[in-house]
Structure 1
Amino acid sequence: MSTQPDPARFAHIRDWVFDLDNTLYPHHSNLFAQVDVNMTAYVQALVNLPRDEARKLQKDLYRDYGTTLAGLMARYDIDPDDFLAKAHDIDYSGLKPDPDLGEAIKALPGRKFIFTNGDRRHAERTATQLGILEHFEDIFDIVAGGLTPKPDRKPYDAFVGLHKIAGSNAAMFEDIARNLHVPKAMGMTTVLIVPNNFEPTFAEVWERDPDQTDDVDFVTDDLGSFLRDLLPQLD
């Protein structure tokens, strides 16, 4: 695992796959914190628990099922559309546009995709606020994945099958290491996005995946700089 981009490892890449939350925008933007609050409120209303107990349940569901949504569907048979609408009812105005990142993504050779456990509307609104939406070929969301979240292999198989992606010619950028296990097994070059200064104090230990470093080829706390460092050496 390296913190420095190696252009030779990316020279053959023609499909660039990006997670959305805490990947295409910095962790310190705290955009996903709003979603997290909404999910806790949803769980609290559903099971009629005090907020602290509802939040613990939400995090247990996330850990055990990959997403809060998957856990709620498995245990409580909720309406996924209702959950997604309420979870992503947030204010995007505090997210700063990132034209430099947009230019770097635009300059990458080949196709670019967003692959998220969120829904398409959330991804579109986020990428629009960042000013980068137009640079992506497609958004593959939780609905496209049959409501099965990463890190389960099923949505990855559906994604690469839909877009005819060869793993050896693809790179994936993610902020959760366990979500890179399948891409690594598929032959993709993997990049883990971490918070600024490598201090993910916001996350629970199980979100940091300390045992999955073998699935990570590169790690960076600045996606834009990482891509810009690669560009001069790419075709």
Structure 2
Amino acid sequence: MKTRSGIVLLLLALGGIASAEPVKSTSADLDGDGRPEAISVQWADGDAQFVLKVGGATIRGKTNEAEVRGVSVVDLDGADKWKEVAVDLGLTDDDHRSIVYGFDGKALKELGSTHALTEARGNGIVLSDSWMGFWTRREKYVLDRKAWKLNPVPQEVYFVGAEATVKKSFPIVRSNKDKAVVANLAEGSKIQVLVAMPVSPKGPDYWYLVKSSTGLLGWTRQQNLQDLTEGLPWAG
């Protein structure tokens, strides 16, 4: 899968993040009392855990074998007095992860984990992008301040919005459960890949909704797009 750590950093900078480039230590007023807290993350290469410290509070988190890049301060909701701190892990889009913590003045609390903090504009919403081979999967998370949780907002399908040319004809079907053929895509024709639907919640494979050059809609699997079309921006 494409290495996109530089792109992730650019997206972080464009979002509402106070410190886009992760650092080992910084300071910020996280609990809104007017006094900045010292913030640091400690780890060593090969460690299974990192240690996040804010003021006198400490919490441990799992690295899942990803390299810890540092911490960033983010204000998820500009309407409240709190700011949050994110521990950034991973050097590529494959292993990248951001774990978000809140500090209530006494203790650190894990709010949630996202693939990336692509957009966090202070409205209580986080948008997180993941590169899926030729398209970007966008996830939404919403801050529940009362519960101190960053909750995912499930989507049944994800927008793709890519165009390709059919190299060899293949069928598109009515649905992922109904394999009745809607159309056989003509060789040399242009198609639009509109949305993606995960084959299973935990698996990496997808069904794709395709619009033919004649305006018909049907589903196909990723292997057909990879083997039988050209023009999609594959990167690995």
Which is strand-richer, 1 or 2? 2
- What band does the TM-score fall into relative to the shorter chain? under 0.3
Q: TM-score, normalised by structure 2?
A: 0.22
Which is helix-richer, 1 or 2? 1
Q: Which protein has the larger Cα radius of gyration, Structure 1 or Structure 2?
A: 2
Higher relative contact order (CA 8 A, sep 6+): 1
